[in-house]
Amino acid sequence: MHLARAALALCLSIVAACSTSDDASPPPTGLAEPDRAALARRLLTGPEWYRHAVVYEAYVRSLQDSNGDGVGDLPGLTSRLPELQALGVDALWLMPINPTPFADSGYDVADYTGVNPDYGTLADLDALLAAAHARGMRVMLDLVLNHTSDQHPWFQESRASRDNPKADWYVWSDTPSRADVGCGTFQAQFGAEAWTLSKARNQYYFHRFYPGQPDLNYRNPQVVKATLDAARFWLDRGVDGFRCDVIGLLVESADGCDMIPETQAYIRQLRALLDEYPDRAMVAESTNYETAVPYFGDGHDMFHMAFNFGFGYFWGFPFAGTEARAVSDKLEASRRGAPPGAQEALVIGSHDVSRAYVAAQKVPSRWRRAAFVQMTAAGTPFIYYGEELGLRPGKVKVVDSRDYQRTPMPWTRGPGHGFTTGTPWIPFGEGAEETSLEAEAGDPASDYAFYQRLLAARRGREAFGAGTMTFLHGDSPAVLAFERAGGGEAYLAVVSMDEAAPQTTRLSAVGGEGEPRLLFGAATAAREGDALVVTVPAEGMALFRLR
């Protein structure tokens, strides 16, 4: 095992040494190249760190097993921090690590201030935080506030009678409906009826998701206090923030239950809590796939970030076509009306949707081009674990079909793939041998090498984390082009949507002077008067520095 890890470390160092090759050409006259490592350290320090970070979504259960029981755990994740940092990761988002009966893979929380024994202990979390912080990496936790498990002590007490101290901590009704719960008049998210009878109370409780996930009653001030206290518990422990699960659904009304004023008022209380601590941030799981603007408030009183799922969950459709505007219009629309300070979180996959390999219909250039847009467009990129390897889906489900994209991480070739010495809790996805990190780290043409070079190219460049984004429309409808500017620099990103032929386009009003400098990818760009003529290979992409 130690020899395998040493060999893998050598492979990673070789790829890392090659990862800046696209950035090694001498700069044009008058275009000095600063110390990017020093700039990255500055940008990733202080309250604005989240704008410049690359965040890695980690399913602890599937990342690394440390004790041979086949289940990933916190010590295992801690042991893999060097590999994640070598990729270019600055922060981790951990899917729920709380105790759970696992009716929804951990999103049914049975204790807000504990750690799932499968994953370790609070001391193991403390060790992870210490190790990550020593490397300059942040750790964010999944905060599931809309509902608890039906095994949570709060619900166990609430369901026992109609007059106990927690009787009103959940949403109850004498009938399987309620006039003031507009979103409870239809089926729950996962197919069951939205109301389930509790025989002990002879009443129905509301659950937006599985029956084992009763919704909390946020009209009860005690619930508000208890959940804020839970968040404070983790902040006091040193976590760097939260990803907030289905946060827009906290409070129901007669008209619906998505980001109504009472929910927004709670979010402002949660933000005020985070603001008591230095350098913390939170990101919203939006339930609006058109825009995340309602989650930002005035830009400083609600969420720091919110996921753009309109692009992140549906990019496979435009990348199967040839129209650049199918991408640019979606990205522009999602940001329209956003207040100053709003920051989108950009994904091309997550634990809830198919692997990028599937969304791209097994065409590698599609998920690579989508990842290129994710890393260079306005927002903070979140990488779902294994995307950097182009992981394939699994074929076995333990809870539901989403398990197909939650299979163990293949670190090495051979049995167990470096994930476990035992039997994994769920089988690996197809092609685990060839998509293992060991296999890909030694191949400069691999998905891993692509991601590592791409992350290195954006690192220490303020324009990508906090700069402006301007879409440029030339005379080829198949070329997606946008300019990023900030920190006294400007960059041009171009992507060919055409998979059959190279594309040439003439772009006007492109900033900078002199010839652009190619930083990443393959394309040519030359100035002709006040325009820039760019040629991109079929399926190609490129990043240029303009000034």
Residue pair 541/372 in contact (Cβ under 8 Å)? The answer is: yes
Catalytic residue selected from 236, 276, 528, 530? 276
Cβ-Cβ contacts under 8 Å for 468 (sequence gap 6 or more): 378, 483, 484, 485, 486
Burial level of 362, CB count in 10 A (0-12/13-18/19+)?
Answer: exposed
CA dist 328 and 473 (Å) reads 10
Q: Which two tokens stand for residue 180?
A: 């003031």
DSSP label of 338: P
Beta strand 172-173 pairing with 203-206: antiparallel
Residue of 90, 142, 245, 498 with catalytic role? 245
Report CA dihedral (444, 449, 454, 459) to the nearest 10 degrees.
Answer: -110
In the sheet that holds 503-508, the strands lie side by side as 503-508, 531-536, 524-528
Q: Amino acid identity, residue 211?
A: P
Give the Å distances, CA to CA, from 12 to 180, 251, 374, 439.
Answer: 56, 47, 23, 11
Contact 206, 194 (CB under 8 A): yes
Q: Which two tokens stand for residue 303?
A: 């969420």
Is 83 labeled as catalytic in the residue annotation? no
Handedness of CA 483, 546, 522, 36 (dihedral sign): negative
Quick check: helix, strand or coil at residue 26?
Answer: coil
Closest residue by Cα to residue 420 from 439, 404, 407, 431: 407
344, 346, 287: which is closest to 315 by C-alpha?
346
Locate 336 and state its tokens: 């329209």
Instruction: Please say if 245 is a catalytic residue.
Output: yes
Show the tokens assigned to 354.
């198919």
Q: Which two tokens stand for residue 167?
A: 């009787």
Residues 371 and 493: their CA atoms lie apart, in Å, by 12
Q: Are 271 and 249 in contact (CB under 8 A)?
A: no
Residue with tokens 């005035």: 298
Instruction: Report the Cα 528 to chain-centroid distance in Å.
Output: 40
Phi, psi of 527 (to 5 degrees): -80, 135
Place of tokens 């988002």: 93
Pairwise CA distance, residues 523 & 416, whole Å? 41
Looking only at the bridges linking them, the beta strands covering 468-472 and 479-486 are antiparallel
| Backbone φ/ψ region at 416: left (φ over 0), alpha (ψ -120 to 50), beta | left
CB 534 within 8 A of CB 474: yes
Q: Report the Cα 264 to chain-centroid distance in Å.
A: 22
By annotation, the residues acting in catalysis are 245, 276
